[in-house]
A and B are shown apart, each in its own frame.
Chain A
Amino acid sequence: MVRLSDLSEHEQAHLLAKTLPPMTPRQWVSPSKPLSQMRVALITTAGLHFRDEAGFSFLDASFRPIPNEADGAKLVMSHSSVNFDRSGFADDVNLVFPIDRFRELEQRGQIGSLGDVHYSFMGAGHTPDAYEQGAEQVAGLLKKDKVDAVFLTPV
């Protein structure tokens, strides 16, 4: 178990330096259908991509698409931060990008469907405003894919 209070003082200070005020304008969408009818996509900030794609650079607010039918086990990581564990991700892609779990939810009918494409950003170095352009682009792509809900994972 890890809580902020379990970490060293310098690690706490670094993470608390990322406490930013609420993003504006505030966004809220109320549910219009049950989860079992929702189309869901995944977005991660873990810097994931396939081996034959360009890795993320030192400071990089771009994103990579991850086709829903792709083999998640072939994803690699080029995240600039070295301050988190990667051995778990080496064992199981679902620890960071739970694509197999969501396929199981789809098969069980607990969600309606999965989007055609999921997305990966690399969350390090930049403040959130640097990702605005890419996030707007991804939001447009998700809308075209008729995605209702997005499940976001940090790393």
Chain B
Amino acid sequence: MTVSIALVRENAESLQPPRSLWVSFPLGRPLGVPNDAAFQHRVIDAALTLLGRERGPVLEDYDEDVPEIATESAPACPVTFPRDDSSWQNRLASELGTLQPWYQMGLSRRQGRTLVGVSDSSIHEIMRRLAEDLDNQQLPADLVWFKSAIEDAKAYYLEALTAQPGQYDQVELYQTLWHDTQFGAGLRRFYDQFAADEKLSGFAVIVLPREALGEKPDQEIQNEN
């Protein structure tokens, strides 16, 4: 027997898995609220109840939304990201130096848990190699390494930006990451290079999210050369 959480009701409605509970939570958060065991248990209980159904397919709506986060109560961004028109090597190294103490603070707050470490390179090595490609206006030679490296770098930035305890507005958090940081500007450059490459254009989708592109579809990101 299976019971599934569904994040997109329309997909579950059409695919018709045997037992499914649709939740209104954001993509990436199928159990709703991090570090809230009571909330997560309520979701799980509602889903497990469906295992008792004798006939299906069953698609039920979960009736509790995640709490709204008041903008004024979210922790402030700990870092100011200045304009910088120097080389990518300088830009990314400088930014990494600014974020490092916040990443360490986040590591401490999460009792050592981190999502960094998918690649086998240190964060300094990752930023150095990404900057090298950006300065040389070339696509990465090793795409397997590139995928894991940008995953590590995104995790590093997100964990640094959320170092302080509290609930964060995800939209604002990702706005900062994609549009305010030099790393975000570098990813936009990589995205454009992949998208323009006949053979590798499909790879662009793993670099930046649709939302980051949709918000500024025709604009150059600040600080672009």
Q: If A87-B170, A96-B31 touch, does A101 touch B44 (CB 8 Å cutoff)?
A: yes
Contact B31 A94, beta carbon cutoff 8 Å:
yes
Asked whether B14 is an interface residue with its Cβ less than 8 Å from the other chain, the reply is yes
Contact B31 A87, beta carbon cutoff 8 Å:
no
Contact A90 B56, beta carbon cutoff 8 Å:
no
Contact B56 A89, beta carbon cutoff 8 Å:
no
Most buried by A among B17, B111, B115, B203: B115
Contact A58 B147, beta carbon cutoff 8 Å:
yes
Contact B117 A51, beta carbon cutoff 8 Å:
yes
Contact B110 A55, beta carbon cutoff 8 Å:
no
- What's the Cα separation between A93 and B29 when bound, in Å? 10
Chain A: minimal CB distance from B190 (Å): 12
Q: If A92-B35, A95-B31, A96-B28 touch, does A86 touch B158 (CB 8 Å cutoff)?
A: yes
Taken residue by residue from 41 to 65, chain B's Cβ proximity to chain A (1 for < 8 Å, 0 otherwise) reads as 1001001100111111100000001
Contact A87 B207, beta carbon cutoff 8 Å:
no
- What's the Cα separation between A28 and B57 when bound, in Å? 8
Chain B: minimal CB distance from A153 (Å): 5
Chain B: minimal CB distance from A72 (Å): 10
Instruction: Across the interface, name the chain B residue whose C-beta is closest to A72.
Output: B113
Contact B44 A105, beta carbon cutoff 8 Å:
yes
- What's the Cα separation between A1 and B66 when bound, in Å? 6
Contact A85 B170, beta carbon cutoff 8 Å:
yes
Per a CB cutoff under 8 Å, which of A90, A92, A148 touches B1?
A148
Contacting residues of chain A (4-29) with chain B, CB-CB under 8 angstroms? 4, 8, 10-11, 14-16, 18-23, 26-29
Q: If A86-B115, A101-B37 touch, does A154 touch B44 (CB 8 Å cutoff)?
A: no
Contact B44 A91, beta carbon cutoff 8 Å:
no
Contact B10 A4, beta carbon cutoff 8 Å:
yes
Contact B8 A18, beta carbon cutoff 8 Å:
yes
Could you tell me the dominant secondary structure of chain A's interface residues?
A: loop
Contact B52 A87, beta carbon cutoff 8 Å:
no
- Sort chain A's interface into a size bin: 35 or more
Q: B2 to chain A: which residues have CB within 8 Å?
A: 149-152
Contact A28 B56, beta carbon cutoff 8 Å:
yes
Which residues from chain B sit less than 8 Å from chain A, CB to CB?
1-11, 13-18, 24-35, 37, 40-41, 44, 47-48, 51-57, 65-66, 68, 110-111, 113-115, 117-119, 143-144, 147-148, 151, 154-155, 158-159, 162, 168, 170, 173-174, 203, 205-211, 214
- What's the Cα separation between A104 and B44 when bound, in Å? 12
Most buried by B among A23, A58, A102: A58
From A30-38, A61-69, A113-121, the one touching the partner chain is: A30-38
Per a CB cutoff under 8 Å, which of A76, A80, A87 touches B168?
A87
Chain B: minimal CB distance from A143 (Å): 12
Q: B170 to chain A: which residues have CB within 8 Å?
A: 85, 87-88
Q: B52 to chain A: which residues have CB within 8 Å?
A: 31, 35
* Pairs A-B, 5 closest by C-beta atoms: A84-B28, A92-B34, A84-B27, A85-B28, A152-B4
Contact B110 A91, beta carbon cutoff 8 Å:
yes
Q: A86-B28, A153-B31 are in contact. List 12 more A-B contacts (CB 8 A).
A: A2-B26, A10-B210, A23-B16, A31-B1, A35-B48, A73-B111, A80-B147, A94-B37, A95-B32, A105-B44, A149-B51, A150-B2
Taken residue by residue from 41 to 83, chain A's Cβ proximity to chain B (1 for < 8 Å, 0 otherwise) reads as 0000000000100010110000000000000011011101111
